[in-house]
Chains A and B, each alone.
Chain A
Amino acid sequence: MSLIRIQNLARRYVMGTETVHALRGVSVQIERGEYLAIMGPSGSGKSTLMNLLGCLDTPSEGSYELNGKDVARMSDNELADIRNREIGFVFQSFNLLARADALHNVELPLIYAGVPPKERRERARQTLVNVGLGDRMHHRPNELSGGQRQRVAIARALVNSPSIILADEPTGNLDSKTGVEILSLFEELSRRGNTIIVVTHEEEVALHARRVIRIRDGLIAADETNPHPRAVVASVSAP
């Protein structure tokens, strides 16, 4: 069974009198453990596809099965549950809570999952150690560098062991050296069996993925396998 099965997925927005067809019928299957890049210029519909894949939005048409569950017709609260358990988001602008320290930011998904305080603190701490931030637990986002913030965000995405890591332009706000660090972290995660979907418009980033889906005008323009994904130099994986 595929991890993700979408068929004829379409999303329309009504803007005043105009209807915008952001996605016009997309079908794709994604298997467990894949490292996939979704590419496309701005306005192509890739963000819409990402929102749908991440269960932040519901399609106008088509079906979406995630882990065998039909999520296309779920209610708000059911979707919140799916996002909590199945999906770990990594955003371009990190989207950390400014008033909370790194540990608390990582704890958040566990709070909404109802994990008891002691266990969730331990799990959050362990995950932060795993991304190399064991010494930054009690720093707030504004006390961390961009790369460290994105690591906190990745730890937050990982902490509840989701089925998919969904990253939206994860290196977009980072300098190239830090960007490479983050990509190497993704590679590491992929090696350990995580499913990673990266939405990007940078070829550089997409080259690291093993499969690239190109979106144009709301449709899949190409679905390619990358036989030789570029590997990041292993030495930069540690900060």
Chain B
Amino acid sequence: MTLQSELGESARIAVAAIRANKLRSGLTTLGVVIGILAATLLGTMINGMGEAFTRSVSSLGSDVLFIGRFPWMSFEDYRIYRNRRDITFAQYRELESRMTTAAAIAPQCEIHQSSVTYERRRAKGVWLLGNTPESLIIRGLTVAQGRWISASDVSSGRPVCVLGSYLAESFFPNDNPVGKKVRINDTPYEVVGVLDKMGSTLGWNQDNQAVIPISRFQDDIQRRPDYVITVKALSPETVSETLEEARSLFRSIRKIEPGRPDDFAINQQEAITKFFDGFKAVLGSFGFFVTGLSLFVGGIGIMNILFVSVTERTKEIGIRKALGAKRRSILMQFLMEAAGITFLAGLIGVGIAWPISWKIGEIARANGSVFEARMSWWIVALALFVSAATGMVAGFIPAWRASRMNPVDALRSE
């Protein structure tokens, strides 16, 4: 009961003290406001990026292997890989006939920065791929309209294409794209299907792609393309077995002597995820550092202002003690004041961060990104908790000193 009424009184005093010194309290909050602002924004970013990234990467499929010349996410010298022998169509054929642990295998070739035109409209930077019917499952794609590349498209080299949703929308905002003729490298192709929207990650728009039969790719785009062989494992649990089989088979296909290193790379979604996790960790620790630093500086400010507040109110402390306030009542009074100021700072910080992250999300959406800068409730709760805790910690020494004042001395002060 006593504690309850003391808590109520402490809260009342804290509010009164903050209101009586609005400017001072406001200035004191700045450090904490910046800290909380940085923390919530970074938290929201990392969160949003992580979600967008997971969504785009998961479209690669965790059970799919990509056999190619270049390893993903490697920071070795590019020239080491550039001089490797090409992966040929014949090698794909051989692997395909010998693999036993694969659900599906498909060759794939691609060029970035291709251009596609429809009547007067021209799309640049298109990701152009040569695929087979199997590629649909292996790449985890879904068709929104029309159909995917068929086996007869590939065998007869029919000039057909499937467009990504972004490309389809920019060419045919109001029309049905299926049946229309677009030009790829000055060759007319009939649109037979449109893919579902996938979104973009870190500036790479997956919906800006065009897919043609792999036979047409060899005829029109590149005579001897650098193939990537895509392999889907029987199940996500047996990926490592599939990887081992593919590796040993491909070594024998490419006649690599025992003891020599692979001259090809088998890539997995995992590599990107790992890389991104590292990136997130770096960003996270940077955010943690910035937040910690500004909260520390802000905390020092709070401590300072509380020392002033305690000195100013020495007489009041004396009066309260004479009337029966115990040490803990005085301690609570000043801790509440400190926590009140920093909680306010937290509210301001979150209040500024919220419209900013909303705006960022809006800009990202306008650019076709699936990046969602959503400020989740736990970030808000955590930010408010951390800011109040900062006040408690920073205010402890001044409050403790106030609580131990001798009532006679405190009463005598003016």
Where the two chains meet, the residues of A that have a C-beta atom closer than 8 Å to any C-beta of B are: 51, 54, 56-57, 76-77, 80-81, 83-85, 89, 91, 95-97, 99, 108-109, 111-117, 120, 156, 160
Closest to B403 in A: A76
The 10 A-B residue pairs with the shortest CB-CB distance, nearest first, are A84-B324, A114-B2, A112-B324, A114-B1, A80-B326, A56-B407, A109-B323, A77-B326, A111-B9, A95-B319
Smallest beta-carbon distance A76→chain B, Å: 6
Q: In the bound complex, do residue B5 and residue A111 qualify as a contact, i.e. CB atoms below 8 Å apart?
A: yes
Q: In the bound complex, do residue B20 and residue A99 qualify as a contact, i.e. CB atoms below 8 Å apart?
A: yes
With A112-B6, A113-B2 in contact, do A83 and B323 touch (Cβ < 8 Å)? yes
B1-41 to A contact mask, C-beta < 8 Å, 1/0 = 11111101100000010001000000000000000000000
Cβ of B356 < 8 Å from any Cβ of A? no
Q: How far apart are the CA atoms of A10 and B133 in the complex, in Å?
A: 103
Q: In the bound complex, do residue B2 and residue A108 qualify as a contact, i.e. CB atoms below 8 Å apart?
A: no
Q: In the bound complex, do residue A156 and residue B323 qualify as a contact, i.e. CB atoms below 8 Å apart?
A: yes
Cβ 8 A contact of A115, one of B5, B16, B323, B407 = B5
Cβ of B325 < 8 Å from any Cβ of A? yes
Q: How far apart are the CA atoms of A19 and B16 in the complex, in Å?
A: 42
Cβ of B181 < 8 Å from any Cβ of A? no
- By CB atoms of chain B within 10 A, which of A76, A91, A96, A115 has the most? A76
Q: Is the interface of A mostly helix, strand, loop or mixed?
A: helix
Closest to A107 in B: B9
Closest to B329 in A: A112
Smallest beta-carbon distance B15→chain A, Å: 11
Q: Is the interface of B mostly helix, strand, loop or mixed?
A: helix
Smallest beta-carbon distance B263→chain A, Å: 80
Q: How far apart are the CA atoms of A175 and B325 in the complex, in Å?
A: 32
Q: In the bound complex, do residue B323 and residue A116 qualify as a contact, i.e. CB atoms below 8 Å apart?
A: no
Q: How far apart are the CA atoms of A77 and B326 in the complex, in Å?
A: 5
Closest to A95 in B: B319
Q: In the bound complex, do residue A80 and residue B411 qualify as a contact, i.e. CB atoms below 8 Å apart?
A: no
Cβ of B316 < 8 Å from any Cβ of A? yes
Q: In the bound complex, do residue B324 and residue A97 qualify as a contact, i.e. CB atoms below 8 Å apart?
A: no
Q: In the bound complex, do residue A112 and residue B326 qualify as a contact, i.e. CB atoms below 8 Å apart?
A: yes
Q: In the bound complex, do residue B315 and residue A95 qualify as a contact, i.e. CB atoms below 8 Å apart?
A: yes
With A56-B408, A56-B411 in contact, do A89 and B5 touch (Cβ < 8 Å)? no
What residues of chain A lie closer than 8 Å to B20, measured between beta carbons? 99
Q: Would you list 16 pairs from A and B whose C-beta atoms are within 8 A, ordered by A residue?
A: A56-B407, A56-B408, A56-B411, A57-B406, A77-B326, A77-B328, A95-B318, A95-B319, A99-B16, A109-B323, A111-B5, A112-B326, A114-B3, A114-B4, A115-B5, A120-B5
Cβ 8 A contact of A83, one of B1, B322, B327, B329 = B322
Q: In the bound complex, do residue B408 and residue A57 qualify as a contact, i.e. CB atoms below 8 Å apart?
A: yes
Smallest beta-carbon distance A90→chain B, Å: 11
Smallest beta-carbon distance A47→chain B, Å: 9
